[in-house]
Structures are given as C-alpha cells and as structure tokens.
C-alpha cells in the first residue's frame, strides 16, 4: 500500500468491508472478480472495531463493489460506522 507508513504516523487506517472479491472487473484495481461473491459476513460490522488499532484517530471505510446486493451493501455500511463510532466517538470516519 503506497504511503502506508505516512498514514499510520498520522493515525489513519483504511478498512475494506463487504468481502475480498468484487462484482466488477475494473482495470485499475487488484481486487479479484467474482460474479456471485459470498454473502456479506454479518459479524463484520461488530468485529471491525476490534481490528481497529487504538492509535487510529481517522478511519477510512471502503468496500468492494457489490452489484449482487439489492442496496449495493449500504445496509452493511451503516452498522459498521455505528460500531466504530461506539468504540471511539471522537474518531473521524471517511467513506
């Protein structure tokens, strides 16, 4: 990941949600394509805060594209943000 050390020094970390495969085949991305990826992990939103190091003050939440889901994964983003904000209400989030 480019500039990972710089981001970490500034207290920033990026989290990829909704799996590790994408429903699109963008030429600029290294995420593998899978037309029918597995269902989103229902434990992921509540488990993400445990993976967030205490030094992170700014979290970037990104995801693979999930054209297979009716809402594109929006219903997975909301509880993820909620769980992160519950753990540290002072941290900032970016999507």
9-40 tens-digit pLDDT: 777 888 889 998 989 888 888 888 888 899 99
Reduce the DSSP state of residue 79 to 3 states and report it: helix
Selection from 18, 22, 19, 42 nearest residue 30 by Cα: 22
- Count of all residues that appear for the chain in the document: 95
Mean pLDDT of all residues in 59-71:
90
What per-residue confidence (pLDDT) applies to 94? 62
At 5, is the pLDDT very low, low, confident or very high (cuts 50, 70, 90)?
low
| HSE (side-chain half, CA atoms, 13 Å) at 43 | 3
Mean pLDDT of all residues in 39-64:
85
């Amino acid at each position: 990941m480019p500039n990972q050390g710089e981001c970490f020094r500034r207290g920033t970390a990026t989290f990829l949600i909704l799996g590790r495969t994408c429903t699109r085949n963008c030429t600029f991305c290294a995420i593998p394509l899978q037309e029918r990826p597995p269902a989103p992990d229902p434990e992921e939103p509540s488990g993400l805060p445990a993976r967030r190091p205490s030094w992170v003050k700014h979290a970037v939440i990104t995801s693979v594209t999930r054209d297979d889901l009716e809402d594109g994964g929006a219903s997975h983003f909301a509880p993820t943000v909620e769980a992160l904000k519950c753990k540290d209400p002072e941290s900032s989030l970016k999507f």
